[in-house]
Structure 1
Amino acid sequence: MSTETPLTTTSYAILGLLAVRPWSTYELTRQMDRSLGRIWPRAQSKLYEEPKKLVRHGLARASAEGVGRRPRTVYSITADGRRALAEWLRRPGAGPVLESEQLLQVFFADSGTTSDTLATLDAARAWAVERNADNLTTARAYAEGRAPFPERAAQTMVVGRFLTEYYRLVAAWADWATDVVARWPEQPRDAEADPVEMAGTLRRADWSSQGPDGLSR
């Protein structure tokens, strides 16, 4: 196996898709956006290079196919690629990295107005509802047997449950935060933390030491 360019998590994501079936580069980028875009978003320009890297490593093979007058390259996984994918799966991955412009704006709300922050929270809830709409559509497709890869329903369900809980979390947090911020004066710098809400936040932060029921409190 070549070591000229190290494999990245994106490399293994592409390899995972190739383990499902062969794809052209265009199909891979669309599938990355459709099925993995919510958990591993990447720019299309980067995705077009990954299959070539996998070929250089001997983990995928490229074959030319004709579609009408326009040729295309289709990539498929090799035996070495399947072994590399299995080896990657044996190593626990890194945890999520949270990136939210809306949270950043709330964090620095004391340099703006309460109205600004309420608008941001409203947008956060709308984002959660919008993203969950796609999540719900996918879940219904699998439940009704209309999904493109029904043989992968078990794996998709587990990841889908995480996304469902995440979107619910954002929406519930936005509702709670809106109620709190609505009681602030117009200038957030003059706001004081509500002792009851502070105690509730502390209690919830201590979920890991509360036993099996900690997450439901």
Structure 2
Amino acid sequence: MSIGPSLSTTTYGVLGLLAVRPYSTYELAKAMGLSVGRVWPRTQSKLFEEPKKLVQHGYATAREERVGRRPRTVYTITSSGRQALASWLAEPGDGPVVEFEGLVKLIFAEHGTRADALATIARARAWAVQMNADSITAGEKFAERGGRFEERRATTLLMGAFLTDFYALVAQWADWASAEVSSWPDDIASHRVGPELTRAVLARARWSEQS
């Protein structure tokens, strides 16, 4: 059995979008930002290269057309592309990877000020609120009957539910962290936490041990 080319998750994300409908390069970048990009963010410049890779591997075709005076390239998935996508989907995906600059700063908060730490926490909460608002806007469109992608509502709901809970988690953590840090002295390095608070957090961590 022949083995297909090794493609990145980003490339497969673009291939998945082409399985929904043909897209121009600009439309692909926009669609990624509204869907796949919310859980697999990549720079727009990188996304512009992905459909070209798919064409090289025979997973998509490219045709030139004009919108007014502007030329654009429209990409369409091929039967080989659909087979490659199905093969990729047959392999279970990895779990999430946490990348959170605010937490990196909080790890070393004792070298800054309490105000710095509180500002970082506040920004994290503001991020969660804004991202959740964006999800609500997108979700309302999917909730309408006869919407553009009504046939994809079920699968989109899986991502929407995850993001809803994730943004709520960040906001709830920020509320807890803000209350905790507010009680710290200005000299964070001198602050000590008793073992009871660690035990309380550890008790929350034992959710996975409950049958």
TM-score (normalised: structure 2): 0.94
Distance of 1:34 and 1:163 partners within structure 2:
12
Which residue in 1 is equivalent to 2:69?
69
Distance of 1:66 and 1:181 partners within structure 2:
57
Which residue in 2 is equivalent to 1:169?
169
Which residue in 2 is equivalent to 1:206?
206
Identity of aligned residues (%): 54
1:118, distance to aligned residue in structure 2 (A): 1.0
Distance of 1:167 and 1:136 partners within structure 2:
11
Structural RMSD (CA): 1.7
Distance of 2:195 and 2:179 partners within structure 1:
15
Superposition map of 1:59-208 within 5 A: 59-145=59-145, 147-208=147-208
1:111, distance to aligned residue in structure 2 (A): 0.6
- Deviations along 1:64-120, one digit per CA (max 9) or x if unpaired, are 112222222110000000000000000011211111111111111111111111111
1:187, distance to aligned residue in structure 2 (A): 1.2
Whether 1:37 and 2:37 are equivalent positions in the alignment is yes
Give SS of 1:37's match: helix
Distance of 1:164 and 1:92 partners within structure 2:
23
User: Relative to structure 1, is the Cα distance of residues 191 and 147 closer, same or farther in structure 2, using a 3 angstrom cutoff?
Assistant: farther
User: Relative to structure 1, is the Cα distance of residues 196 and 120 closer, same or farther in structure 2, using a 3 angstrom cutoff?
Assistant: same
Q: List gaps (5 residues or longer) in structure 2.
A: none
Distance of 2:65 and 2:154 partners within structure 1:
33
Is contact 1:2–1:56 with CA below 8 Å preserved after alignment? no
Distance of 2:146 and 2:120 partners within structure 1:
36
Distance of 1:43 and 1:141 partners within structure 2:
26
Equivalences, count: 210
Distance of 1:22 and 1:2 partners within structure 2:
26
Give SS of 1:97's match: coil
1:12, distance to aligned residue in structure 2 (A): 0.3
Distance of 1:151 and 1:162 partners within structure 2:
19
Is contact 1:114–1:181 with CA below 8 Å preserved after alignment? yes
Which residue in 2 is equivalent to 1:215?
none
Distance of 1:118 and 1:194 partners within structure 2:
21
Distance of 2:144 and 2:190 partners within structure 1:
53
